[in-house]
Copies of this chain bind each other. A is one copy, B any other.
């Protein structure tokens, strides 16, 4: 197993992957904006990511992911997907909130729990046999509306 990288660095890595898709090249300023921090903090993070072999980094040059970086991202974004899906599909949060919350949780929730959420999702989505679960979802939304909980 690869030695898990810190939550902060993981976030940088994700934004790098995102920006790469959107703009091809990844610029320090854009990263800073996304991360809500100063450019100098980004440089520092890039250097640490580079030391860990997750990105290719040289001063003043555009950043790219290494194969290891790609792998890390793949796992992470799967985690993110499952979490967001769970929050939206089971707990009935709006997509946007589910995304945000997934961002904050994906670095902390254990793999085990995430896999279990996926199983729960599979279970609920296991259609035909189990229409009760679909019924439950809409029932839950009604129940939610009638509860004192303010919608997110």
Report A's interface with B, CB cutoff 8 A.
Answer: 87, 90-93, 97, 101, 104-105, 108-110, 112-113, 115-117, 119-120, 122-123, 126, 130, 132-133, 135-136, 139-140, 143-144, 147, 149, 152
Contact indicator B119/A147 (Cβ below 8 Å) = yes
A10 to chain B, nearest CB (A): 13
**A93 CA / B90 CA spacing, docked (Å):** 17
Residue in B closest to A86 when the chains form the complex, CB atoms: B91
Check A132/B130 contact, CB under 8 A, given A104-B108, A115-B149: no
Q: A116 touches which one: B110, B130, B149 (CB < 8 A)?
A: B149
**A144 CA / B119 CA spacing, docked (Å):** 7
Number of copies: 2
Chain B residue contacts of A126, Cβ below 8 A: 143
Check A132/B123 contact, CB under 8 A, given A91-B117, A108-B108, A117-B91: no
A113 to chain B, nearest CB (A): 6
Chain B residue contacts of A115, Cβ below 8 A: 149
A55 to chain B, nearest CB (A): 26
Chain B residue contacts of A144, Cβ below 8 A: 116, 119, 123
